[in-house]
Amino acid sequence: MNIAIASDHAGYLYKEAIERFLADLGHEVHDFGTHSEESVDYPVYIRPAAEAVASGACERGIVLGGSGNGEAMAANRIRGVRCALCWNAESARLGRQHNDANMISLGQRMMSLDTALEIVRIWLETPFEGGRHIRRIELLDR
């Protein structure tokens, strides 16, 4: 799977670890930055990752920050993106299962690295249920 990844400075360390985790699982990862812990404005990095998912260049995307809130908001501004803010395994599972989340946002300051990796794993493995939810998502994407 082609996966976009991006972060601001507050999510940089987890971004790097998640990128290695994804590569070890055999995924192709497209890193949109940032490339250090030096302070940056998150939309500069999050928007191109979200646009890659919306265009189909990447199948899914992961964005990170301190809390993940701003990153989720920035990603969800792009038509066709359904970015779920995930702070635990259940939110990741439900984001895929019920909402067909094609992106997730994680907060490095909100969880351990082990939790972040578990969230990513669950999100990748959980299928979308489809059915009654798909029509609502199609309407939102217009």
**Rounded Cα gap, residues 1 and 100, in angstroms:** 16
**Rounded Cα gap, residues 20 and 50, in angstroms:** 20
Q: Which of 71, 90, 125, 129 is catalytic?
A: 71
Q: Does the annotation count 71 as an active-site position?
A: yes
Per DSSP, 64 falls in state: E
Helix spans in the chain (H): 12-24, 43-55, 69-76, 89-97, 113-125, 132-140
Q: Which of 98, 118, 133, 138 is catalytic?
A: 98
Q: Does the annotation count 133 as an active-site position?
A: no
Catalytic residues: 71, 98
